[in-house]
Every structure is written in C-alpha cells, then in structure tokens.
Amino acid sequence: MNRREALSPGEIVRRRGGRARKARTAAFHLTASFISLLWVGPLVLVVVLSVRTFDDILGNGLMALPRSFTFRGYADAWGRGGGRRGMLNSFIITVPALSLALLLSSLTAFGLSRFRVPFRRTILLIMLGGNLLPPQIMLIPLARNAEALGIFDSFFAVIILHAAFGLGFYVFVLYGFMLAIPSEIQQAAIIDGATPFQIYRTIILPLSRPALASMGALGFTWIFNDLLWSITVLRSESRMPVTASLLGLQGTYLSDWGLISAGTITAAIPTLIVFLLFQKSFVGGLTLGAVK
C-alpha cells in the first residue's frame, strides 16, 4: 500500500513511539525471513547435495555438512543420466507449442475484440471452459486418436496438444487486453485501406506486447513443466521431455542422491531463467482477470 500523504488519526497515534515501531519492524523481518527460509531451505539442501560426492553422501549422511565438492553429479545427470536429451526434447516441444498457441490465440483475441462478432461472449466462454476440463477425461481418446492418425509417439502430437489445450486461457486474457486499445487507431488504418491482418500485425500485436509477454512467460513454464501429456502420447525414451527423463533418473539411480539432485536442479534452471527475466509479466499474468 502506498504511503499516503495525509495521515489518519490512527496512524498519527501509531507514529508516536519510534521504539515500538522499530520493534514491530524487527518482528516483521524476523517472521518473514523465517517463513522465507521454510520455502527456500529445501532448495538450498538440494543444491548442497548436488555438489557432494557419492562417497561423502554415503559416508557422512544425506544431511551432513558438505566435506567434498564436485560437479560430477551434474556431468553424470547431463550425460549418462540423459539430461541433455531430455532438456533438448523439452525445448523442441515447448518453443513451437508456445509460439503456435500465442499466434493462434492472439489472432482469435484480435478478431473477437476488434470486430463485431456474433456470439462473441459464448465463443470466449466455451474456449475458456475447455481449459477447465480435467485432462483425465480426454487422455484415452487423445492417445487413441493420435494412434489412428499415425502421430502417436511424435513431437508433433505433443506440440499440438499443448498449443490447443492452453488456447482458452490465452484468448481470454489477450481479449481483455486488446479490448482496452482505443478503436480510433484502428479506424485510421481501415480508412487507409489496411487489411485486418495488417492491422493485427502492425498495430494491435505491438501494442499487446505486455500481455503477450505475460502469457509467454506463463505458457513457457506450463508447457515446459508438463508431465501428463507427454507420457500420454509419447512412448520412446528418446523423445521424453526433461520432466519424464528426470523420473526415469529417479528409478535408475535410486541411491545416487548427488546425481538425482544435480538432475533436479538442472531441470529447474530454464523456468528459473524465464521467471527471473520476466518476473513482473509472470506475476502479472497470473493475476490478470483475477481481480475484477
């Protein structure tokens, strides 16, 4: 909340007694940092574990202070653990799926928000509704349909699934955003004889960049983090994304905690980077439409 210029009577009372305020500030930071520690602590433990040697972990215990330092776990998780393959697959799936989803949803949102479309609200709600369905209801038919079409166990199938399954939400958010762009800008372009696609490309899309960034950051993590769709329509080990290959790692190297921890940290890095780069858009995207 912003510090307001005019102080309320209550606030003036509370302003007196600087010591009490200091104590309250200290109490706040103590509480907040303790809570933050609860959230970050587990991650720190895993990071520490990931750079300890196998013998150190075995000899001194899982939670002991590190007495060794090695990147062996990372090298192993990346190499023979299949981390490189999994990571590459994740990007092969995520990048086209996300691009397709953003392209299609921005076109739909453009059409719905900038033109008088019959049943606009119905279309919007139906598309959003599709996003709220539990995926279990369509798992079996999707696997079956993919087999019938000959695209089972292909990147293409996963990409299409991801692109289509996010559409409703992206359209919903982008629609809300594009609706707020003044129509005068568009009128001028129409008078100049621009086609709808030109208006989309040169006017609306550039203006929608903040919303696109939000949806891009969110969508990236959703697709990248997915497990269920991939294990539903993929079969070959060599095509599995990093989430699934990480699970495989857990099974194969059951007691090699260093390797598993290193794999876990590696798998978390891409979404971490996206989050750090787009933190504002990310959180903004999550709360868009939540407050109304």
Partner 1 sequence: MSVPGRHRRRGIDTLPPSVAAFILVPFLLEAAVVFAPASQGVLLSFTQWRGIGTPNPVGLQNFRELADDPIFIVAFKNTLRWLVVFGGLSGLLGLSLALLLKAERRGVAVYRSLIFLPVIFSLVVTALVWRVLYAPEGLFNNALQAVGLKSWGHIWLAEPRTVLYALVVASLWRSSGYIMVLYLAGLKSIDPSLTEAARVDGANRRQLFRHITMPQLSGVNSVVLSVIVIDALRSFDIVYALTKGGPYNSSQLLSTFMFQTAFATGRLGYASAIAVVIFLLAVSFIVLYLIRALREDAR
CA distance 20 to 142: 62
Residue 238 sits in the site that holds partner 1 (CB under 8 A): no
Closest distance between partner 1 and the C-beta of residue 84, in Å?
17
Residue 149 sits in the site that holds partner 1 (CB under 8 A): no
Residue 260 sits in the site that holds partner 1 (CB under 8 A): yes
Closest distance between partner 1 and the C-beta of residue 249, in Å?
9
Q: Which one among 5, 18, 19, 132 touches partner 1, defined by CB under 8 A?
A: 132
Q: Which one among 20, 88, 179, 277 touches partner 1, defined by CB under 8 A?
A: 179
Residue 212 sits in the site that holds partner 1 (CB under 8 A): no
Residue 161 sits in the site that holds partner 1 (CB under 8 A): yes
CA distance 192 to 26: 62
Closest distance between partner 1 and the C-beta of residue 79, in Å?
19
Three-class DSSP category at 215: helix
Contacts of 156 (CB under 8 A, 6+ apart): none
Residue in 102, 286, 269, 75 with CA at minimum distance from that of residue 200: 102
User: Per residue in 246-262, is it b (16+ CB within 10 Å) or e — as a string?
Assistant: beebeeebeebbbbbbb
Q: Which one among 158, 163, 234, 240 touches partner 1, defined by CB under 8 A?
A: 163
Stretch that binds partner 1, among 15-23, 73-81, 191-199, 203-211 (CB under 8 A): 191-199
Report the 10 Å Cβ neighbour count for 274.
Answer: 19
Residue 246 sits in the site that holds partner 1 (CB under 8 A): yes
